[in-house]
């Protein structure tokens, strides 16, 4: 199988294994035929230039080796400039051959808006631990807050766990590219290590061409760091497992938050959960995990007992944490309606005049009406 994306071999009409003597003969015959001084065809000059370019690459043993290697990873549209190859570096700027490309889904949800972005961070295994943990934390904390968000976020979390080492195409391209770039600057050790690792991701039909490149290099006996993909899977469940452990203590050991007379009592049957998640990861089954539990307070817009006002101007958050984005600004004295609270009563869910709901810390709220409630406010029917 000959991979010839820029058609250099095809242009000269030669085989992949052509020797220098035959290559030169073929070039001279075609160059003589298409030379614009003799050939008056309108495309003679263009064909002559293509022949010259192809020969310039294939007659140079180094450029030919680089071309044959890059041909495994790039098509004609994306093929890089072989004379100015840039090495893909780690996030810390290290020119190491021990890199991988991760493929992770990142979910951000705000009410009716759900944004899913595809992240492809590049780094070493230690870099990957941080990448994966950060995106997992983001999804577990910020991926639920909307009507459609739970289903989207569950799918993303499952995919991130299942496909942690399935980004084969990007990893093959990265390792092949770096093998060529290291070879170009004469770092044969790193070229060998990159190409050797690329074998793990190479399609079966590409292996002979890749192994032919490896055979050109001096063998390197440096140990290649092994990536612990099981660990990358497990750290994505660290946050929910911690939350589940805390919940177990609260529910089963009787360590319940004290609920004073400030809020109306709520029967267990009336406790509502924003989202309960159950999923499987490979052969591991994760028990039901409560992602976020909010005690609902019945909304009666004619009742003033759940009206509170702000002790000072504060940000209204999309979720019960300062890690969430700011939904709105509430000014000092503004009156809001409490519609729910977290089990620890640290955060209250409140309704604003426009009917939207966000979260404010309990310490900023005082029971009773503050500033005059606007005429069209949805928190109170006069």
Residue 352 lies in a domain: yes
pLDDT value of residue 45: 94
pLDDT value of residue 279: 30
pLDDT value of residue 98: 95
- Beta bridge partner(s), residue 123: 100
Compute the distance between CA of residue 278 and CA of residue 224 in angstroms, rounded to an integer.
37
- What is the pLDDT confidence band of residue 287, given thresholds at 50, 70 and 90? very low
Compute the distance between CA of residue 14 and CA of residue 21 in angstroms, rounded to an integer.
11
Residue 349 lies in a domain: yes
Instruction: Say whether pLDDT at 259 is over 50.
Output: no
Compute the distance between CA of residue 356 and CA of residue 380 in angstroms, rounded to an integer.
14
Domain CATH for 340: 2.30.30.40
Helices 61-70, 168-184: inter-axial angle, 10-degree rounding: 170
Q: Are 264 and 297 in contact (CB under 8 A)?
A: yes
- Beta bridge partner(s), residue 330: 314
pLDDT value of residue 282: 38
Residue 321 lies in a domain: yes
Residue 10 lies in a domain: no
User: Residues 242-249: what's their mean pLDDT?
Assistant: 56
- What is the pLDDT confidence band of residue 254, given thresholds at 50, 70 and 90? very low
Instruction: Say whether pLDDT at 119 is over 60.
Output: yes
User: Residues 295-315: what's their mean pLDDT?
Assistant: 88
Instruction: Say whether pLDDT at 244 is over 70.
Output: no
Residue 13 lies in a domain: no
Instruction: Say whether pLDDT at 278 is over 90.
Output: no
* pTM for the full predicted model: 0.63
How many domains in the chain? 1
pLDDT value of residue 382: 65
- Please tell me the least confidently modeled range out of 15-29, 135-149, 254-268: 254-268
Instruction: Say whether pLDDT at 189 is over 90.
Output: yes
Residue 14 lies in a domain: no
Domain residues for the domain of 332 are: 307-367
Percent of the chain residues topping a pLDDT of 90: 61
Residue 276 lies in a domain: no
Q: Are 69 and 180 in contact (CB under 8 A)?
A: yes
Average pLDDT, the chain: 84
Compute the distance between CA of residue 343 and CA of residue 153 in angstroms, rounded to an integer.
23
For residue 362, what is the DSSP state?
Answer: G
Highest mean pLDDT among 138-147, 232-241, 362-371: 362-371
**Choice between 382 and 44, residue whose per-residue pLDDT is larger:** 44
User: Residues 332-350: what's their mean pLDDT?
Assistant: 90
pLDDT value of residue 29: 95
Spell out where the chain has E strands. Answer: 100-101, 104-110, 113-119, 122-123, 272-281, 284-296, 307-310, 314-317, 326-330, 335-341, 347-351, 357-361, 365-367
Compute the distance between CA of residue 230 and CA of residue 382 in angstroms, rounded to an integer.
59
Compute the distance between CA of residue 345 and CA of residue 28 in angstroms, rounded to an integer.
85
Express each pLDDT in 319-337 by its tens digit.
888 877 888 999 999 999 9
Tokens of 88: 């893909």
Percent of the chain residues topping a pLDDT of 70: 86
Residue 319 lies in a domain: yes
Instruction: Say whether pLDDT at 165 is over 90.
Output: no
């Amino acid at each position: 199988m000959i991979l010839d994306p820029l058609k250099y071999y095809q242009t000269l009409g030669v085989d992949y294994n052509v020797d220098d003597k035959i290559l030169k003969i073929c070039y001279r015959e075609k160059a003589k035929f298409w030379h614009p001084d003799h050939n008056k065809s309108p495309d003679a000059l263009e064909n002559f230039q293509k022949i010259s370019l192809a020969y310039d690459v294939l007659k140079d043993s180094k450029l030919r080796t680089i071309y044959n290697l890059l041909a495994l990873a790039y098509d004609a549209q994306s093929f890089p400039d072989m004379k100015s190859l840039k090495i893909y570096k780690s996030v810390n700027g290290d020119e190491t051959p021990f890199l991988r490309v991760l493929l992770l889904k990142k979910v951000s949800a705000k009410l009716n808006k759900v944004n899913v972005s595809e992240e492809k961070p590049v780094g070493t295994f230690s870099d990957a631990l941080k990448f994966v943990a950060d995106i997992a934390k983001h999804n577990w904390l910020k991926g639920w807050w909307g009507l459609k968000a739970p289903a989207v976020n569950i799918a993303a979390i499952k995919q991130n766990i299942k496909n942690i080492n399935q980004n084969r195409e990007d990893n093959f391209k990265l390792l092949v590219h770096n093998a060529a770039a290291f070879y170009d600057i004469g770092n044969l050790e790193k070229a060998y290590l990159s190409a050797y690792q690329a074998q793990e991701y190479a399609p079966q039909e590409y292996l002979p061409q890749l192994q032919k490149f490896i055979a050109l290099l001096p063998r390197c006996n440096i140990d290649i760091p092994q990536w612990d993909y099981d660990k990358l899977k497990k750290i994505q469940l660290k946050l929910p497992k911690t939350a589940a452990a805390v919940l177990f203590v609260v529910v089963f050991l009787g360590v319940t938050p004290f609920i004073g007379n400030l809020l109306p009592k709520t029967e267990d049957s009336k406790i509502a959960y924003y989202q309960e998640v159950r999923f499987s990861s490979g052969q591991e089954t994760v028990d039901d995990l409560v992602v976020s539990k909010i005690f609902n307070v019945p909304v009666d817009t004619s009742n003033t007992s759940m009206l509170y006002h702000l002790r000072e101007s504060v940000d209204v958050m999309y979720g019960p944490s300062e890690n969430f984005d700011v939904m709105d600004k509430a000014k000092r004295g503004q009156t809001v309606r409490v519609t729910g609270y977290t089990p620890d009563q640290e955060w209250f869910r409140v309704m604003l005049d426009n009917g939207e709901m966000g979260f404010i810390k309990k310490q900023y709220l005082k029971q009773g009406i503050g500033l005059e409630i606007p005429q069209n406010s949805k928190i109170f029917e006069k």
